[in-house]
Amino acid sequence: MIFSDTGALLYSEFSQDSNTSMTAIADLGDGGPAAIVIDEPNNYSLKRWSAKHQRFQ
């Protein structure tokens, strides 16, 4: 689970597909927010926090 500095739940694997899991948090070095690395059955994906949509995309 990932919480904001105010205590709001931002990410939880309890509501995710059981075939995926968060593997790491990565700083991509481009000045943007950190990304979470998602391990899916056949690949990895990166998701960044969207302040506009209030979720990882």
Q: According to the model, what pLDDT value does residue 10 have?
A: 77
- Residues of the chain whose pLDDT is less than 50? none
Span 21-33, pLDDT tens digits: 888 889 899 998 8
Q: According to the model, what pLDDT value does residue 42 have?
A: 92
- Return the closest-CA partner of residue 26 out of 8, 48, 51, 55: 48
Coil, strand or helix at 7: coil
Q: According to the model, what pLDDT value does residue 14 have?
A: 66
Put simply, whether the predicted model's pTM sits higher than 0.85 gets the answer: no
Q: According to the model, what pLDDT value does residue 22 have?
A: 84
Q: Where are the domains of the chain?
A: 2-56
